[in-house]
Chain A
Amino acid sequence: QVQLVESGGGVVQPGGSLRLSCAASGFTFSGYGIHWVRQTPGKGLEWVAFIRYDGTNTYYADSVKGRFTISRDNSKNTLYLQMNSLRTEDTAVYYCAKNRLLGSYFFDSWGQGTLVTVSS
């Protein structure tokens, strides 16, 4: 069955960097676009970034543009999120989520999430 497993979260100081990973299994990873979505503690959901199935195009929320980079390695079935210049407002649980279908842009499978805490 489809499985997405995030890792790499932790505590980092403002201005610091962190790289999240999302290991995928149970489906043809190279055939699907994948997103990062975050959720601040006790709050709602915010879409962060999207990468097409072949990595040719990436898209970002304005709140992270220029600071975060989404990438993927289809040979390793793994998605990444490089987060630089972190701010306290980036504190959240970060989920990777898979497109339901090519071009669907609804998220039919999610990981369990990894917590990023930005604090001095």
Chain B
Amino acid sequence: EIVLTQSPATLSLSPGERATLSCRASQSVSSSLAWYQQKPGQAPRLLIYDASNRAAGIPARFSGSGSGTDFTLTISSLEPEDFAVYYCQQRSNWPPFTFGPGTKVDIK
């Protein structure tokens, strides 16, 4: 099973700042990685798939990069609605599909 770790666990930032979130896989997943955003009481929302492709309707301030074992989600300038929990997910070696434990982006 591929284990995903995310860092930091919590990121405290102000609106307008840049957010950089990390996801590391226990073995190579090539570019088979996605990022999701989840707000309280809501289902996750797909942001990025195949490491760097924005899903439909996702603003350009969200970008993904990386391949192999190290991946990054960047939010170029935080909007108030971006404060949420972010998860990465791999589909390279399944079953199972696995998720990281999440990074909470909260308001400083």
20 more A-B residue pairs beyond the given contacts A50-B95, A61-B96, A108-B49, with a C-beta to C-beta distance below 8 A: A44-B87, A44-B99, A45-B99, A47-B95, A47-B96, A47-B99, A60-B95, A61-B95, A95-B44, A97-B43, A100-B55, A104-B49, A104-B91, A106-B46, A106-B89, A106-B91, A107-B89, A108-B55, A110-B43, A110-B44
- What are 27 A-B pairs with beta-carbon distances under 8 A? A35-B97, A44-B87, A44-B100, A44-B101, A45-B36, A45-B87, A45-B89, A45-B99, A46-B99, A47-B97, A47-B98, A47-B99, A50-B97, A59-B94, A100-B46, A100-B49, A100-B55, A105-B97, A106-B46, A106-B49, A106-B91, A107-B34, A107-B89, A108-B46, A110-B43, A110-B44, A112-B42
Q: Cα distance A95–B102 when bound, in Å?
A: 17
Counting chain B residues whose Cβ lies within 8 A of the other chain, the interface size class is: 20 to 34
Say how far A46's CB is from chain B's closest CB, in angstroms. Answer: 7
A: number of interface residues (CB 8 Å): 22
Consensus secondary structure, chain B interface: loop
A-binding residues in B (CB < 8 A): 34, 36, 42-46, 49-50, 55-56, 87, 89, 91, 94-102
Say how far B11's CB is from chain A's closest CB, in angstroms. Answer: 16
Say how far B87's CB is from chain A's closest CB, in angstroms. Answer: 6
Beyond A104-B49, A106-B34, whether A111 also contacts B43 by CB under 8 A is yes
B94 contacts A44, C-beta separation under 8 Å: no
Consensus secondary structure, chain A interface: strand
Residue of B nearest to A47 (CB): B97
